[in-house]
Amino acid sequence: MANGLDDVVAADTVLSDVDGVGGHLTIRGHSLAELAGRWRYAQVVRLLFDGFFDDLPGDAELEKAIGKARVEVFDRVKPLLAKLPRLDIYSGMRAGMAILPDGDGLADALRLIAAPAVLTAALLRLGQGETPITPDEKADHAGDMLRMLAGTASPALAKALDSYLVTVCDHGLNASTFATRVVASTQAGLTSAILAGLGALKGPLHGGAPGPVIEMLDAIEASGDATAWLSDEIAHGERIMGFGHRIYRVRDPRADALKAVVRQLGSCNETSSRLAFAEKVEQAALDVLRIAKPQRSIQTNVEFYTALLLEAVGFPKEAFSNVFAAGRAAGWIAHAREQQATGRLIRPQSRYVGPLPDLVA
């Protein structure tokens, strides 16, 4: 068996399906195209949570409950905030989330939805020497995340961020979701399960890729020759961030969903020239990868346009993985509940290939 568990089916799920050949993502019976840019994040949280919590309210009430959860999380983490900026922004968020109660109820789940938004904004402000902004429980989640970050949130930027959160809310049994399900299967609480997801998401082969995409774009801009820069990276055995996927053999449908959001934003600010440049880099990368790795179809993945979108709405690249976690928290929680409901501990086997003990005669 391959070390990466390729093609192993480790769970039955009603939550999402990734069709890597056709390039389709289905979330609880809806195509990504139906959801992205049309549904609000709170609606998608409801969609994913449906059937996993007895007391789940309707869309409008849930949006309010998420707002209340932001305020509650802010109050809980406030005494800790001054110590967290010593950590990198992702570790700071994870440390703040680790102090949340470890239950299995809706209130626990909503705190975990709220926490990445609250902590990321507060930690970014503290890192700039500014005071954290108290959440506004009446605001929508994405809009409040931007308001807590910058003091104001334009409706266009809030909508763009909301579309991003929806687009990344769930994606089959990816590494962080699997990690979440493994911990949930032990009947540890939701916070423990989500902390496992956070650990897995951080790596550059998973949710840590979009920050390096910005570094790549900046380096290519400075070098002036995308093809030469990318070819040199491949020649040195490096991976091109924002390209390739374990499941997709075609273009990741989330890449186009996010690119469309960036394009809309481009009509009202300088994002348009950044997008035009990124499109040229994308084409150069696809050409270089096709020649360098002819045996493998390596296409654009979600992270490439994630980087552009999150940059455009005002996040520094160091916080991109935090925002990914803010969206994916919904999927993690739903998967954790789905796994808990099976009552089955995930406990695979390993094959021992080490030395045998000396047999004593």
Q: Does 303 bind ligand COA (CB under 6 A)?
A: yes
What minimum distance in Å lies between the beta carbon of 256 and ligand COA?
14
The 3-class secondary structure across 299-319, one letter per residue, is CECHHHHHHHHHHHHCCCHHH
Task: Report the candidate in 245, 240, 256, 225 with the shortest Cα–Cα distance to residue 289.
Answer: 240
Residue in 63, 245, 311, 335 annotated catalytic: 245
Between the two ends of the chain, the Cα-to-Cα distance in Å is: 35
Give residue for tokens 């949006």: 63
**Which residue, 177 or 191, has its beta carbon nearer to ligand COA?**
177
Write out the binding residues for ligand COA, residues 160-219 only, by CB under 6 A.
Answer: 205, 209
Q: Which of 41, 53, 164, 243 binds ligand COA (CB under 6 A)?
A: 243
What minimum distance in Å lies between the beta carbon of 243 and ligand COA?
4
Dist CA 234 CA 216 (whole Å) = 13
Window of 38-46, 47-55, 78-86, 241-249 that interacts with ligand COA by CB under 6 A = 241-249
Contact 166, 39 (CB under 8 A): yes
What minimum distance in Å lies between the beta carbon of 133 and ligand COA?
31
| CA distances in angstroms from 140 to 117, 144, 213, 297, listed in the order given | 12, 6, 29, 39
**Which residue, 237 or 343, has its beta carbon nearer to ligand COA?**
237
Q: How many residues bind ligand COA (CB under 6 A)?
A: 19
**Which residue, 104 or 303, has its beta carbon nearer to ligand COA?**
303
What minimum distance in Å lies between the beta carbon of 244 and ligand COA?
2
Q: Does 244 bind ligand COA (CB under 6 A)?
A: yes
Task: Report the candidate in 169, 167, 118, 168 with the shortest Cα–Cα distance to residue 146.
Answer: 118
The sign of the dihedral angle between the CA atoms of 41, 47, 48, 54 is: positive
What minimum distance in Å lies between the beta carbon of 317 and ligand COA?
14
Beta bridge partners of 278: none
Q: Give the CB-side neighbour count of residue 268, counting CA atoms within 13 A.
A: 11
Q: Does 296 bind ligand COA (CB under 6 A)?
A: yes
Q: Which of 73, 161, 298, 334 binds ligand COA (CB under 6 A)?
A: 298
Residue in 282, 303, 311, 338 annotated catalytic: 303
303 given a catalytic annotation: yes
Dist CA 14 CA 219 (whole Å) = 42
Contact 194, 329 (CB under 8 A): yes
Q: Which of 13, 43, 163, 301 binds ligand COA (CB under 6 A)?
A: 301
72 given a catalytic annotation: no
What minimum distance in Å lies between the beta carbon of 287 and ligand COA?
13
Contact 270, 292 (CB under 8 A): no
Window of 31-39, 133-141, 296-304, 313-321 that interacts with ligand COA by CB under 6 A = 296-304
Q: Give the CB-side neighbour count of residue 351, counting CA atoms within 13 A.
A: 4
Dist CA 334 CA 343 (whole Å) = 15
Window of 19-27, 158-166, 175-183, 300-308 that interacts with ligand COA by CB under 6 A = 300-308
Q: Which of 302, 310, 333, 336 binds ligand COA (CB under 6 A)?
A: 302
Q: Which of 242, 253, 327, 331 binds ligand COA (CB under 6 A)?
A: 242
Contacts of range 235-239, beta carbons closer than 8 Å, 24 or more positions apart: 239/205
| E strand spans, the chain | 16-19, 24-27, 30-31
Return residues touching ligand COA (CB under 6 A): 4, 205, 209, 234, 239-246, 289, 293, 296, 298, 301-303
Give the catalytic positions in this structure: 245, 303
